[in-house]
Amino acid sequence: MNKKIVASLVSVICVCACTYASSARAEDLNKIFENVNNFITQKNYTKALEELDWAKNEIGKMHVDALKGFFPDSLAGYNGGEVESSSALGMTNIERTYNGVVGQVKVSLVGGGKGGAMGGLAGLGRMAAMMGGQNGQESLRINGQTATLDTRSSRPELNVFLESGGILKVEGLKGFNKDNSSQLKSVAEAIKIAELNKYLSGAGAAS
């Protein structure tokens, strides 16, 4: 079977699976909130709070799925691998490695939401960038957001400090160096940063 046809079928299956999963989770949430209301009516607040914890877990999964949607299968000619996610200290981290002609890049999102732990670091990063970088560190704007491109090490790194509090990082891995570090800008500019920032700010729904 033609590889393009296979790839298309896989994409359709993945979309259908995600749609089904989202629908199932919505049904689970409805059931959980129904339980919460019942327990509140019974004045069993301990069980109501327990059910709310389950609701928070389910919503957290939906939030992660929404964030993964900002890491498309292709970025500026680079093809993405598996999307990975993790949570620690109340922060959600999403990352995906991409392979292209120049080499390999890793795109990651750390934190998000102004109430998050990374909000302060993102703010400090914006301030430092606006004050001017050091040698080997360039301050710039990516899709309206303050960013820095660091070429001091063997692996160049671009950090975009989102106004919503998260940090979007694009790291040059295999095949990258100072001379071709501008490719990282192209990758970052291909991401829907404005929509991501809006979603993390709570000002809009994920696409």
Strands (E), the chain: 74-75, 78-88, 91-99, 104-110, 137-142, 145-150, 157-161, 167-172
Task: Tell whether the model's pLDDT for residue 163 goes beyond 80.
Answer: yes
Q: pLDDT over 70 for what percent of the chain?
A: 75
* Block residue for tokens 């389950």: 54
Report pTM.
0.75
Average pLDDT, the chain: 82
Adjacent-strand bridge partners of 106: 97, 171
pLDDT grade for 158, boundaries at 50, 70 and 90: very high
Tell me the per-residue pLDDT of 58-86, one tens digit each, with 9 for 90 and over. 998 999 999 999 999 999 999 999 999 98
Tell me the per-residue pLDDT of 187-199, one tens digit each, with 9 for 90 and over. 999 999 999 999 9
Assign a CATH topology to domain 76-200. Protein Transport Mog1p; Chain A (3.40.1000)
Domain boundaries, the chain: 3-67, 76-200
DSSP 151: -
Q: What integer pLDDT is reported at residue 20 of this predicted model?
A: 42
